[in-house]
Chains A and B, each alone.
Chain A
């Protein structure tokens, strides 16, 4: 082998190595909090345009954030289950907050949708996706459950099946029950599935 061909071979190998891994950032930025971490106060917007602080909406037993959508069939498949969760756990002292971070879904549409579907919990807008980015939320629906000290205790799906007839694992309910009983959450992290959050264009 000539010296020139050896150098060429090295260059090709180096180039191939550089191109070997091209993990590209997904749509959601990397989360700034993981299970076990604490959240600082975050600002949202109520559906009538007023500022809303996460810490001021705290529940006595804990706070549940649900990233939701109006037009996502997956999120809509969970409307009844989310309404049931809110009904059951607000009564037990939890705050249940829906977060709509979709730039494509205006506040009035979100309000109409919530009323029509009887969701029964407060929904806030996350207009600049600051909260969605902080949490690394990527789909709807996606759940984040905090204890009274604002430690993230559960993140992920509501359960394991869009079709309620096929649910095998009610992960979010299990987490809420554990929190209520001051026990460790049995499965603290699951992968949420649903429609990607339609984020605002980055500056």
Chain B
């Protein structure tokens, strides 16, 4: 009787996770560069982590909002606060949700410096979303959970503030 060794089956989730590119690492200097790159545009930056349940809960909504408001000029960027040891979870998360917006991962360490660079009044709690008008000014934020209605109202305000006629873009 011949013994056939079956090839190990790769689980679809793991395979899919490997196909997703790892988020680029970002620190406070690169964060400033990122904001500069988005100058002239309406920008929403969302901080999340796979270990943050409300972050996971709101992420699909953010993905929908990114698609919905992109034609009106909204740009959304996600920044994961996951640690190096959580990369498998990060890959799975991104593979599952397939975000239409770019995601970065904060370089582990120097938490306080990074938090203060984003906003010195931010406690560092997540989820946290920061709204940047076209002139680069941070015009508002959500810290903690916010429902779709609140996000949409904030996005509409952001887009209004970022219109060229409002004198806010370069």
Contact = CB atoms under 8 A, between A and B. Distances in A.
A186 to B, nearest CB: 15
A26 B125 contact: yes
Interface residues of B, number: 39
Contact of A24 (B51, B85, B110, B143): B143
B108 A26 contact: no
Q: Chain A, interface size: which category? A: 20 to 34
B108 A161 contact: yes
B157 A163 contact: no
B51 A195 contact: yes
State the majority secondary structure of interface residues on B. Answer: mixed
Contacts of B109: 160-161, 166, 168
A16 B161 contact: yes
Contacts of A139: 123-125
Contacts of A193: 81, 111, 115, 124
Contacts of B140: 21-24
Contacts of A161: 108-109, 111
Contacts of B54: 196
A188 to B, nearest CB: 14
Interface string B58-93: 000000000000000000000001011110000000
B164 to A, nearest CB: 14
Nearest to B83: A162
Contact of B84 (A19, A160, A163): A163
Interface in A138-189: 138-139, 157, 160-163, 166, 168
Sorted nearest first, the 7 A-B pairs with minimum C-beta distance are: A27-B144, A26-B143, A22-B140, A73-B51, A138-B125, A191-B112, A193-B124
Interface of B: 51-54, 81, 83-86, 108-112, 115-116, 121-128, 131, 139-146, 150, 154, 157, 160-161, 166
Given A16-B161, A138-B123, A193-B111, 11 more contacts: A19-B139, A23-B141, A24-B143, A26-B128, A26-B143, A27-B145, A28-B123, A161-B111, A163-B83, A190-B112, A195-B52
